[in-house]
Structure 1
């Protein structure tokens, strides 16, 4: 999942950097903090947001125009909210005290007390998130203020409940839990409910998209059901996806259906509108989005689209780590409708990207997706696998050691297999039960088991041999003093040959 998010973020970074940045001589509304001003600033502000950054950081540069825009907008609120920043290459002591471990790090401060910022990193998302922080978890809404309150955010949940009603405790608990994501209000006035054509007791969602008013029909004391209802209705039938909202979909718990299209295609809007009927039919089972095929071509390739023919469609089950691509031609909407019906009906087989099965002529088994189950789940053998990327510097550094390790176990291939797999050119099959999100990832599968162990130890020859000795079901003796008979070209060079772009 992290790779998917990184792919989207990296692809859009240049566009963000090159647009919306204030001129050098234009006054910024973001407050610059130093070690002399930091403590007094965060302690004196009821609510503030602070970015800890490094000037050379690409993600910080991408965030900058959005942060600037948010600072200006939030100062205009009825209760202004200040945004500030700390240059960690200069104010090292401040960033160390705040335990900053990566850039950019954003923290919300309330009178000096910090909490992690978990919101979007686009201007509208930052503004929305901080406005929610300024509100109580559950606002008491007077009838005269109801119309304005309904427009506080893209989705506002209002409970029409009498004061003291037992259902109010449930709604209040949920508001505390979800305050970072949604705006919650309580209206106790029966006449206000009547004016809204709402019965008491009830919960209503007001939205700035799709149907503007949705009434909850479930049990008002079932907190989990109300939460599920709000989350399901917070997602538009069809929306554009990008770095600012991708994690919302990734964490939604349902598969994601992408329509990859050229943003200026003449029939884009018509096709997207047609998808709404399909999305409505399968609401709650799939989320539908359209995505810029130019900006996010690498994301499409990661979903096993060929990256050449647009538009295209693909369903991704993020939790199941499966992909179901569809190349489009002719009746696109009809083809998508059938593809979705077949997916829901369990009739589709997932697409597993794999290199061709190679001839094995070296001490390390070159693993590909098509042979994964056959090789790795051989009950008679212990298997240690490195999942690498050709461009990864750490992988290149490890490669000679890995080849030497293969040489050491070459005489025992019937018991212990040392393998490697290019995880940019091969999918890890769903049968593995894990996804690769960083390189190198090293996993060990003991003989007779279906479970994988994460490698824990030094990435040295001794470290790998010790780990295998402690965890392998098959016992073999390895002579570490004997020189390795490795006459192949340097594995670092072999790994270095690029095959696919980085996700």
Structure 2
């Protein structure tokens, strides 16, 4: 995501917070706020100030952000508290709107953002309710290494019996044992455990604990093959409706660990410290989730349950709730999960489930996989978080029992780069010529853009996209001017409802030019001005034509009714986040594909400067 997109999105996040929370932006005056404990950072001094600091709390803010202004006094008070805790703790702030390179470097996508640095490295980001008290508590936890120490057998018993309130409130406990105590900062296992604990300190579903007592470690599920073992790590899962399970790191093996080791063996620049940390992360992310997750939980707590885990592929097992009453079905799900753990998550969903805030006519699962929301059959599909690619496992109609081996094979095919792809398409219009545009859908795209007798410019847009709405008048002028040129087609396709194996769309709008020749490859166009677009087509067209005059169309009225009736930037950014989750783009070309129709079943010339809404 570019600097402009990051900061544009951050502006929207800040605006939304102010609107919905009704924050007062009339913060205390400069004279009333004692921010003497806060160091001001810029691009010039950031590294020289932050890198030498053993601990640092840095606020990334923007001067125009009302929420930042409202929190200024609270941050000043928090800074005073944490620097009193230990004078070596640095409290600082940087204007990431002015210092855009800093915002880009640390992937700032909202204001204010607070990050914790250890020895100059960003290790954690605050994501809890923003208050002075919560910020201070978070810092205190990180200052202690992100974990609580267990020093007595009584404390261990309380963890196991849920008498410890903090432990009882979360389904996952991570326990680390270090024979020499957690003070040897040079030990690679200790450093890896500490970094993992700090990075995951915001997780509402996990708590980290540490001990240097081998008897306590054994009580908590860490056993050792020899008495010489100096370190142990275990995860204890206790999800409602699932059996309580303790998994020990020494017995754990996932493919990502093998790949990490292979990379190191091949001579890649991977330090031993980094390799151990990656192994711990692989273990944590692979074992964190229950055998399967309910879709409702995955959506409502997605930041902690699914979306924060660096596993790209998710298998959706979709059926009405009564289908999951069978013990054999649950056993099959657990069998599938055991085979795919660490590679693919398992999500159980009802096709008629509604996302919070969505109207009753919108069914995200049904639309994602192009199935009927009234379906009574099992459907199993796979979704990639990164690309939005969707696959079907091809269950026969009215199947009563899931076949674990078949579904594991389906998953492995997808992971290996194969699988049966799902492409969505709206119904083909009876008359594709609508006004000056040719309307394209998934099933008609190839016929239009691969016509060797036409030079074709295609816009892939989305009705919710603010940048598309802003670009629409220019594109309409171009289409009107080109209407008299028989060899040129100005086309558009709703990328939220249609996709195709021919290309990958990662942002809206996307402009692609197809020259008039057999099997033409598309040319990406980043021009947002009608006149310059006409000149581009004239220059690159395979069939020559006289360049039309655009002057008569400069003041033409443009119908924007197909776009959402909201402010372009706010609306675009809001849906941008949904696009990232739903991911209506593609990434791979596959041999086996399916087209499914959901309806059958139910001021600058550069587009980069003018703006995109990224998926």
* 1:330 CA drift (Å): 9.8
Distance in 2 of aligned mates of 1:243 and 1:466: 49
Q: Do 2:292 and 2:347's aligned partners in 1 also have CA atoms closer than 8 Å?
A: yes
Q: How many Å apart are 1:276 and its aligned residue?
A: 3.7
**Farther-moved stretch of structure 1 (394-403 vs 187-196):** 187-196
Change (3 A) 1:106 1:454: farther
Quickly say closer, same or farther: Cα 1:169–1:475, change in 2 above 3 A.
farther
d(CA) in 2 for partners of 1:132, 1:170? 20
Partner of 1:238: 292
Secondary structure of the residue aligned to 1:429 is: coil
Following superposition, the deviation at residue 191 of structure 1 comes to 6.0
Q: Does 1:418 align with 2:490?
A: yes
Corresponding residue number in structure 2 for 1:254 = 312
Deviation by residue 1:15-53 (Cα, 9 ceiling, x = unmatched): xx89xx9xx9xxxxxxx7664527346569x88797979
Partner of 2:233: 204
Match of 1:295 among 338, 341, 356: 356
Does residue 322 of the first structure (1) align with residue 420 of the second (2)?
Answer: no
Aligned to 2:223, what secondary structure does the other structure show? coil
- 5 Å-filtered alignment, 1:321-400, equals 321-324=388-391, 334-335=401-402, 340-341=407-408, 343-344=410-411, 346=413, 349-358=420-429, 359-361=431-433, 363-376=436-449, 383-392=456-465, 394-400=467-473
Correspondence 1:441 to 2:507: no
Cα deviation, residue 370, structure 1: 1.1
The answer to whether 1:464 aligns with 2:533 is yes
Partners of 1:204 and 1:215 within 8 A in 2: yes
Residue in structure 2 matched with residue 28 of structure 1 by the alignment? none
1:432 match: secondary structure: coil
Structure 1 partner of 2:340: 282
What residue number does 1:227 align with?
A: 281
Task: State the partner residue of 2:191.
Answer: 172
Distance 1:267 1:444, change over 3 A: same
**CA shift at 1:233, angstroms?**
1.2
CA contact (8 A) 2:175 2:233 kept: yes
User: Which of 107, 117, 131 is the equivalent residue of 2:114?
Assistant: 107
Q: How many angstroms apart in 2 are the aligned matches of 1:42 and 1:467? A: 52
1:462-493 CA distances to partner (integer Å, 9 max, x unpaired)? 232344467x373745524266799xx97625
- Aligned match of 1:402 in 470, 475, 488? 475
Going from structure 1 to structure 2, the CA distance change for 1:40 and 1:309 (only over 3 Å counts) comes to farther
Give the alignment of 1:140-155 within 5 angstroms. 144=152, 147=156, 154-155=172-173
Matches for 1:112-123 after TM superposition, within 5 Å: 118=125, 120=127
The equivalent of 1:71 in structure 2 is none
1-structure distance, mates of 2:455, 2:129: 47
**Does the 8 Å CA contact 2:462/2:495 hold for their aligned counterparts?**
yes
C-alpha distance in structure 1 between counterparts of 2:486 and 2:385, whole Å: 35
Report the equivalent of 1:309. Answer: 374
The 3 A distance-change label for structure 1 pair 252 and 448 is farther
Question: Normalising by the residue count of structure 1, what TM-score does the alignment of the two structures yield?
Answer: 0.62
Tell me if structure 2 keeps the 8 A contact 1:382–1:445: yes
**Residue of structure 1 equivalent to 2:247:** 213
SS of the residue 2:423 aligns to: coil
Q: Contact between 2:287 and 2:341, CA under 8 Å: does it hold in 1? A: no
The alpha-carbon deviation at position 441 of structure 1 amounts to 3.4
Give the match's secondary structure for 1:386: strand
Q: Please report how far the alpha carbon of residue 303 of structure 1 lies from its aligned counterpart in structure 2 after TM superposition.
A: 0.5
Q: Measure, in 2, the Cα distance between the counterparts of 1:167 and 1:115.
A: 19
- Residues 475 and 450 of structure 1: is their aligned pair in 2 closer, same or farther, counting only changes over 3 Å? closer
Indicate the RMSD between aligned Cα atoms, in angstroms: 6.1
Residue 211 of structure 1: CA displacement?
1.6
Aligned CA distance change for structure 1 residues 268 and 383 (closer, same or farther; 3 Å) = same
Displacement, 1:440? 3.0
Selected match of 1:156 from 162, 169, 174: 174
Residue pair 1:258, 1:290 contacting (<8 A) in 2 also = yes
Shift of 1:232: 1.0
Q: Partner residue of 1:72?
A: none
Which of 35, 42, 47 is the aligned partner of 1:39?
A: 35
CA distance, structure 1, for counterparts of residue 112 and residue 524 of structure 2: 28
1:453: how far off?
Answer: 5.5
Distance 1:483 1:95, change over 3 A: closer
Q: 1:329 to 1:389 in 2, by over 3 A?
A: same
TM-fit CA distance, 1:421: 0.4
With over 3 angstroms needed to count, the CA separation of the structure-2 counterparts of 1:193 and 1:304, relative to structure 1, is closer
Q: Provide the C-alpha distance between the structure 2 equivalents of 1:257 and 1:375, rounded to a whole number of angstroms.
A: 34
Aligned length: 446
Q: Secondary structure at the match of 1:303?
A: helix
Deviation at 1:208, TM superposition (A): 3.9
